Structures are given as structure tokens and as C-alpha cells.
Amino acid sequence: MDNDEFRDWSRRAADWGVDYRAGLRDRPVRPAIAPGEIFRSIETSPPEMPEPMEKIFADFEAKIVPGMTHWQHPRFFAYFPANAAPVSVVAEYLVSAMAAQCMLWQTSPAATELEMRIVDWMRQALGLPEGFSGVIQDSASSATLAAVLTMRERALDWQGNKKGLAGQAKLRVYSSDQVHTSIDRAIWVAGIGEENLVRIPVAGRFRAMDTAALEAAIVADRNAGLLPAGIIACVGGTSIGGTDDVAAVAAVARRQGLYLHVDAAWAGSAMICPEYRHFWTGVEGADSIVFNPHKWLGAQFDCSIQFVRQPEDLVRTLAIKPEFLKTRGHDGIINYSEWSVPLGRRFRALKLWFLLRAHGLESLRNMIRNHVAWSEGLAARLAKEADFELVSEPMLSLFSFRHRATPGADLDEHNLRLVDAINADGRIYLTQTRVDGRVAIRFQTGQFESTAADVDAAFNVICECARSLAS
């Protein structure tokens, strides 16, 4: 592809992207295809000779787009959002065109120094105190792994990476059952082992860890010769928004000398609104915090910020400095590859810089406030319907509900069938979970371009599909 073709196809791709986004309401949120259908449509062998871009692009439109789930659809109410505000997409064009590896200061000074500034912008936006610095990771999964590795090393007096875990005291990490499964994976990858992730009982509307039980478990483990390493608290868990009393958990961590990591991957974005910060009161006592601007704030995936109180601990855990990665003549600079598990790094700060400048915090606050209000309104409407019940009250913009089937029917099976029917209908997209062992249907508003009318449409679709199924 020469420069003229590059210019032409870049323009055509950008035009296609605008038209695609403009027409999303006319598409079903999730494709109605059978597993294997796309796979069978792709040639079984790679091409030996070049093919014209016209044919490649035509195949993209004919074979790929019809098989996509449209995460930017305004009626995407499943999982959590993975927003990509248009200005963020524009910034990603530029990042892709430059294609820089931003692992060291010297490999892209502007990328490193913008990341330093943007992380501090976000610290201020969330109301976190001075003293927290941070890094933009790819996802909360990577941030949590980095935190678990750090708590492991600190508990082992920085000998885990050097000596391995064999022969060491058995490490223990504590959390509720409301945390994301990325915590389980971090425990696996860190070599701590699933059996050493201690699940603390929960109570209350937000299913917060019982801190008395937490402290008792830590003391009992220590008395049994085990080695408590850290606690992972949750703010806005994926299932139904489970949220720990961060201040009380931080007090336990402080008394017991344990590392505290707070996972606020989804809900953290809402903390740009001062009125929601009570959900993580005491967060200043954490050793690390993660939240994902690529969920609710509109930054194109991937973009996850990990704040740390003592960056030297993170660097001590992850930094490796072979000769070819040393920066000569410059001391005290930040090389963000030493703050992350991967060596290679994308220029993630640029999209946040564009996004924050183009929208400003106040318009982002208004978006989040609207999403919360619309979800609360929908929950209240469903609760008034005789054949529906709320399973969990709204936590910000997330709640769960069930439809009551005809007497004698299996309610779990009925509600699973209802989720399938809603998603097959195509007008909205929802997912299910289990609450106290029972199937519930999750609903969250978070897509960047959703409107009150989209949430009203969700009410109609849910009721229509439920009553059609029941009849």
C-alpha cells in the first residue's frame, strides 16, 4: 500500500466508522448466528498472492460485521460498558498510525510524560489525595495481578521472585465472593493457589465483607503458621455491584500489616461525581486502586489506571533492567514497563487526554448521573409490576431482577429462557447472574450514547418478552 492508497483507505475506514456508529440503532445488538458460521465463511488457507483492498473490505462488510456484537450500541445493557467515545476513537487512529512502543521514556518521551500528567489528572478527578501516583495498564486483570505480585513479594520480604515459592510459608489472600474472577486468575498466576484465596462472608444490601470475620481469619491463619499477604476489597462488583466497607477493611489491613488492593474497575469512574464517593470512603488507606476509564468514562479499550501509594514497591516487584533497556545519562525518569507485567506498552494516555479535553469532567459527570437516574427509574418501574421482583437494589446504574413464571414453573429455568428470548429479540442485550444461588437478570446503563428513551425501550422489551414467554 503506497501513501496515496493509505490516505484513501484511511479516509474510507474513518467514513465507514462514522456511518457504522450512526446506524447502530437500526442493528440488533447481538447477531443472530450459529456457532461456526463465520469460521466456515473464511477461506481455509491463507492467500499466496496479494488481494485487492476492495475485495478485502467487501468481505469485512459481508462476513465480519454481521457477526459482531455491537458494544457501542445505545441499548447495550449487558456486562459493563466498554465505551469508545468518538473523540477517543480519533485519538486511537493517531496512536495506530504512529505505532510507537512506549515501554521506556526514551522510546517515546511524550507518551511517558503525558501518562504521568493524565494519571494525576484522574487522581484529582476522583478526589484521591496527593501521594498516589499510577500507571495506565491494559486492563484491571493486569493491574490486579501486579498488585497480587506486589503483596506476595512484600509478605516474603522480597524473596519470592528470587527463590520461588517452594519452601516458603504458605501465603493467604482475603476477599469476598463478590470480587471479579480476575482476582482468582491473579492468585493462580502468582503461584499462591486457589485454595489460599480465603473467601470472607458478606452481609447487607451491598454484600460487604464481614470485617470481624476478616480479621479473625487473618489471626487464625497466622496462628496456624500461614502467611497472610493481602486483602482485595471490592467497590461495584460485576455480579450485582457488591461493595465493601473500604474504611473498615483498610483499618483491618493497617492493624494486621497487610497490603490492601481496591478493585473499583467499573464503579471507580462514578467517583468523578462527589456525591458517589461515599461508596469508597476510606480508599485513601489502600496500597493500590484500579479503575477502568475504558468502561464508563468513554476511553477506547484498553485503558485501566492503577493508582499506587508506594510505586517503589511495584517497581521492585516487576522491574528487570537488562543492558539494552537502560537509559544512559538520565536518572530518576519513569520507565512504565517497570510498572507493568508486559514489556511492550501502547500509547494509552493520548485517548484520555483527547477525551478529557473534548468533554470536560462536568459533561462526563452529567452522563454518569443520567445513567444512574435512568437505571433507578427502570428498577422502580419493574418493581411495581406484579409479575416482576427486584433481586438486588440499584448500586449506581446496576441492579438485578426476576420474572415470576406461572405457579409450579422452575423460576431459574424460566428466567434463563427469558434472557435468551430478550437477546434473540435483538432490540436490547442483557446478561444473567446468580444471587444467593438463584438466577437473576442483570441490567446496567452505561453506554456513552444511551438516552432515556433507550432505557424506556428496555422496559417495554423486558415486559413484552416476559409475558410472551409466560403465555
List, in order of start, the domains of the chain with CATH numbers. Answer: 3-82 (1.20.1340.10), 101-346 (3.40.640.10)
How far apart are alpha carbons 152 and 161 in whole angstroms? Answer: 9
How far apart are alpha carbons 427 and 459 in whole angstroms? Answer: 11
Whether residue 200 contacts residue 209, with contact meaning beta carbons closer than 8 Å, is answered with yes
Tens digit of pLDDT at every position of the chain (471 positions): 889 999 999 999 999 999 999 999 999 999 988 899 999 999 999 998 899 999 999 999 999 999 999 999 999 999 998 999 999 999 999 998 888 888 888 888 899 999 999 999 999 999 999 999 999 999 989 999 999 999 999 999 999 988 888 888 899 999 998 888 888 999 999 999 999 999 999 988 899 999 999 999 999 999 999 999 999 999 999 899 999 999 999 999 999 999 999 999 999 999 999 999 999 999 999 999 999 999 999 999 999 999 999 999 999 998 876 544 555 444 568 888 889 988 889 889 999 999 999 999 999 999 999 999 999 999 999 999 999 999 999 999 999 999 997 777 889 999 999 999 999 999 999 999 999 999 999 999 999 999 999 999 999 999 999 998 877
How far apart are alpha carbons 113 and 108 in whole angstroms? Answer: 9
Cell of 308: 499506587
Per-residue exposure over 384-415, b if at least 16 CB sit within 10 Å of its own CB, e if not: ebeebeebbebbbbbbbbbbbbeeeeeebebb
How far apart are alpha carbons 256 and 172 in whole angstroms? Answer: 13
Name the one residue in this structure whose C-alpha cell is 497480587.
148
The H or E element spanning position 458 is: helix 452-470
Whether residue 290 contacts residue 147, with contact meaning beta carbons closer than 8 Å, is answered with yes
* Total residues belonging to the chain: 471
Whether residue 310 contacts residue 172, with contact meaning beta carbons closer than 8 Å, is answered with no
Q: What is the DSSP letter of 299?
A: P
- The pLDDT score that the predictor gives to residue 331 is 56
How far apart are alpha carbons 226 and 8 in whole angstroms? Answer: 63
- The pLDDT score that the predictor gives to residue 321 is 66
Q: CB atoms < 10 A from the CB of 190, how many?
A: 24
How far apart are alpha carbons 160 and 409 in whole angstroms? Answer: 54
How far apart are alpha carbons 200 and 327 in whole angstroms? Answer: 45
Q: State the angle between helix axes of 452-470 and 411-425 in degrees (0 to 180), rounded to the nearest 10.
A: 130
Q: CB atoms < 10 A from the CB of 293, how many?
A: 28
Cell of 180: 471479579
- The pLDDT score that the predictor gives to residue 205 is 87
Cell of 295: 468502561
